[in-house]
Structure 1
Amino acid sequence: MTNRFWCGECDFKTPWVAEDEGLRRQAEHYARKHPGASPVGQVETRRRVTVTRQGCLLLTAGALVLLTVVAVWRR
């Protein structure tokens, strides 16, 4: 999973990074732009969706079945 940390004081947000990297970047931002303020804001979490070999196989098989049905139907 990756996270994006949003500043509670301005429109700054980190890129999608691991949690520890996001916390570090947010703390650096607060130290630089909002000295003395505690880092607050929100955390957005994104789960990576990856296509596995099994998913590609199912997609390919589905496309072949669809093409076969269309070819038979057009005769």
Structure 2
Amino acid sequence: MAYRIWCGECSHRTSWLRESEAEQAHIDHYVAEHPRLAPGGRIETNEKSPEGGTGCFLVLAVLMLLLVLPATCQR
């Protein structure tokens, strides 16, 4: 699952990241842009994680090619 955190003070939002990475990016934003305020905002979740879905598909596609190519190249 991927997470994106929206700033409670401005329109900034993190990229889709793992939960701990999104939290750290959110804290870093507050330190840089809103130094005297406690981090706030809202958390958005994405069940179809962009970082996980594409990577798995790519691995499966390569594995299928490795299985199909030797079968088609035999005499």
TM-score norm. by structure 2 comes to 0.64
CA-based RMSD of the aligned residues comes to: 1.9
For 1:23, the equivalent position in structure 2 comes to 23
Name the count of aligned residue pairs. 52
Provide structure 2 residue ranges, at least 5 long, that are not aligned to the other structure: 54-75
Q: 1:33 is matched with which residue?
A: 33
Larger Rg: 1
* Superposed structure 1 runs of 4+ greater than 6 Å apart: none
- Output aligned runs, 1:1-75, within 5 Å: 1-48=1-48
Summarize deviations over 1:11-43 as a string: whole Å, max 9, x none. Answer: 000000000000000000000000010000000
